């Protein structure tokens, strides 16, 4: 992975009187060739998409807290590892959403 890896996924969208509400999962990852490690930041948030002004970002208590991951990996496998980490993270966010709904 010579370039940074960034991905986001809108897990769910719902409507409200003030606009759409999106629940989003993200990953921002970079392989450090000097250390041979993948550094990744995983995050999740709620975004209120407003037509009358800027979007509003929030982090409800039930969403998983942002996580930092540092794993040793060969550069040729770094992108695959970042994708795998993101896939697992999306699953964790989905599970938290389902649990919050009861």
- Residue-level pLDDT, tens digit, the chain, 102 residues: 556 899 999 999 998 777 789 999 999 999 998 999 999 999 999 999 887 788 889 999 999 999 999 999 999 999 999 999 999 999 999 999 999 887
* pTM for this predicted structure: 0.89
Q: What is the pLDDT of residue 19?
A: 79
The answer for residues whose C-beta is within 8 angstroms of residue 97's C-beta and 6 or more apart is 11, 12, 23, 62, 63
Closest CA to 95 of 66, 67, 62, 68: 62
What per-residue confidence (pLDDT) applies to 16? 79
Considering its fold, how many domains does the chain have in total?
1
Q: How many CB atoms lie within 10 A of CB 41?
A: 14
Say how far apart CA 69 and CA 95 lie, in whole Å. Answer: 20
Domain, as residue range, for 60 = 5-101
Q: How far is CA 39 from CA 23, 69, 96, in A?
A: 24, 6, 24
* CA gap 94, 23 in Å, rounded: 9
């Amino acid at each position: 992975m010579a370039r940074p890896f960034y991905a986001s996924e809108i897990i769910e969208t719902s409507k409200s009187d003030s606009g759409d509400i999106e629940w989003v999962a993200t990953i921002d990852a970079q392989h450090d060739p000097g250390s041979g490690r993948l550094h990744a930041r995983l995050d999740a948030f709620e975004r209120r998409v407003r037509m009358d002004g800027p979007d509003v970002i929030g982090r409800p208590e039930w969403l998983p807290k942002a996580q930092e991951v540092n794993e040793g990996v060969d550069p040729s496998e770094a992108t695959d590892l970042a994708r795998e980490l993101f896939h697992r993270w999306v699953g964790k966010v989905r599970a938290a959403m389902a649990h919050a709904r009861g």
